[in-house]
Amino acid sequence: MWVFSALKGIGKFLIELVGEAVGEVILTLFAFALLGGLVLVAHLSWSFSPRLTIAGAGVLSLFLAHGAWQTFRTPTKGRRRGFAALTATVFTVTAGTAVFLFFYTSGCGCL
């Protein structure tokens, strides 16, 4: 009977190992696709109009800075509404995406 339990344990280990490997490959491909898309958007916008690209980057930087300020400042009474909630949410999603890209694209050895 111990042979069957050992084989069952080995089977579970192999299924978990393959599942983790497939998950890692999917996350890595998603990270590279996201990074490639960001580079493509930057390249296309620069080739269309460098001035608008710089102006858009400045507006986006101000938008994210306001979101960071709303996220990390001491909370006031009540809850965030409207523009403050929007900028805080966009900042949080952008920060999460940046951390994701940092961890999954820095481990490839190709950069």
pLDDT digits (tens, 9 = 90+) for 65-101: 998 988 888 776 766 678 888 888 899 999 988 888 7
Confidence of residue 20 (pLDDT cuts 50, 70, 90): confident
Contacts of 81 (CB under 8 A, 6+ apart): none
What confidence score (pLDDT) does residue 25 get? 84
Instruction: Specify the pTM.
Output: 0.64
111 lies in a domain? Answer: no
Q: Which domain does 44 fall in, by range?
A: 2-105
Average pLDDT, the chain: 83
Question: Domain total for the chain?
Answer: 1
58 lies in a domain? Answer: yes
Question: What span, in angstroms and rounded, lies between the C-alpha atoms of 25 and 23?
Answer: 5
Say which DSSP state 73 is in. S
Residue 11 clears pLDDT 70, i.e. is over it: yes
Say which DSSP state 89 is in. H
8 lies in a domain? Answer: yes
Confidence of residue 36 (pLDDT cuts 50, 70, 90): confident
46 lies in a domain? Answer: yes
Question: What span, in angstroms and rounded, lies between the C-alpha atoms of 54 and 56?
Answer: 5
110 lies in a domain? Answer: no
